[in-house]
Chains A and B, each alone.
Chain A
Amino acid sequence: MTEWLEDGYDYLRDKLIDGIAEVGRIAMLVGDTFRKLGRGLRSFGLVVDQMDHIGVQSLMLVFIVSLFTGAVAAVQAGYQFANVVPLKFIGSVILRSVIIELGPVLTALIVGGRVGASIAAELGTMRVTEQIDALDAMAINPVRYLVVPRVVAAVIMLPMLTIIANFIAIIGGWIVCVTTLDVSTHTYVTSMKTFFFMKDLWSGLIKAFFFGGIIAWMGCYYGFRTEGGAEGVGIATTRAVVSACVLVLVSDYVIANVLFRFIFAS
Chain B
Amino acid sequence: MIKIRDLKIRLGKKQVLNGVDLDIPTGKTVVVMGRSGTGKSVLFKNIIGLMHPDSGSIEVDGQEVVGLREKDLNEVRKRFGVLFQSGALFDSMTVGENVGLPLREHTKLPDAEIAKRVADRLEWVGLKGVEAMKPASLSGGMRKRVGLARAIAMDPAYILYDEPTTGLDPIMSDVINRLIRSLQQRIGVTSIVVTHDMNSAYHVADEMALLNEGRVVFTGTPDEARTTSNPMVRQFIEGSSEGPIKP
A residues lining the B interface (CB < 8 Å): 122, 126, 129-131, 133-134, 136-141
Contact = CB atoms under 8 A, between A and B. Distances in A.
B84 A130 contact: yes
Given A138-B102, A141-B70, A133 B50 contact: yes
17 contacts: A129-B86, A130-B84, A130-B88, A131-B89, A131-B91, A134-B88, A136-B48, A136-B50, A136-B77, A138-B101, A139-B75, A139-B77, A139-B102, A140-B101, A140-B102, A140-B105, A141-B70
A140 B90 CA distance: 13
A195 B231 CA distance: 88
Given A137-B77, A137-B80, A138-B77, A130 B101 contact: no
A140 B85 CA distance: 19
Nearest to B101: A138
Nearest to A138: B102
Contact of A137 (B70, B82, B85, B91): B82
Given A138-B102, A140-B101, A140-B105, A130 B80 contact: no
B90 A137 contact: no
A168 B101 CA distance: 41
Interface string B98-112: 000110011000000
A79 B101 CA distance: 60
A152 B74 CA distance: 25
A258 to B, nearest CB: 35
A131 B50 contact: no
Contacts of B70: 141
B45 A133 contact: yes
Contacts of B74: 139, 141
- A-B complex: 6 closest residue pairs judged by Cβ atoms: A139-B74, A134-B88, A130-B88, A137-B82, A139-B77, A130-B84
A134 B82 contact: yes
Contacts of A122: 92
Contacts of B102: 138-140
A130 B44 CA distance: 13
A133 B84 contact: yes
A203 B152 CA distance: 52
A122 B90 CA distance: 11
Contacts of A134: 82, 84, 88, 90
Contacts of A133: 45, 50, 84, 88
A138 B73 CA distance: 11
A250 to B, nearest CB: 32
Interface string B105-132: 1100000000000000000000000000
A122 B89 CA distance: 13
Interface in B16-70: 45, 48-50, 70
Contacts of B75: 139
A137 B92 CA distance: 18
Contact of B78 (A130, A131, A139, A141): A139
Contacts of B90: 126, 131, 134
Contacts of B48: 136-137
Nearest to A137: B82
A138 B74 CA distance: 8
A130 B147 CA distance: 12
A141 B70 CA distance: 9
A126 B84 CA distance: 13
B88 A131 contact: yes
Given A136-B77, A138-B77, A141-B70, 20 more contacts: A126-B90, A130-B84, A130-B88, A131-B88, A131-B89, A131-B90, A133-B84, A134-B84, A136-B48, A136-B50, A137-B48, A137-B84, A139-B74, A139-B75, A139-B77, A139-B102, A139-B106, A140-B101, A140-B102, A140-B105
Please indicate which of the listed interface residues B45, B89, B105 has the most CB atoms of chain A within 10 Å of its own CB: B105
Most A Cβ at <10 Å: residue of B50, B75, B88: B88
A137 B78 CA distance: 8
Contacts of A138: 77, 82, 101-102, 105
Contacts of B78: 139
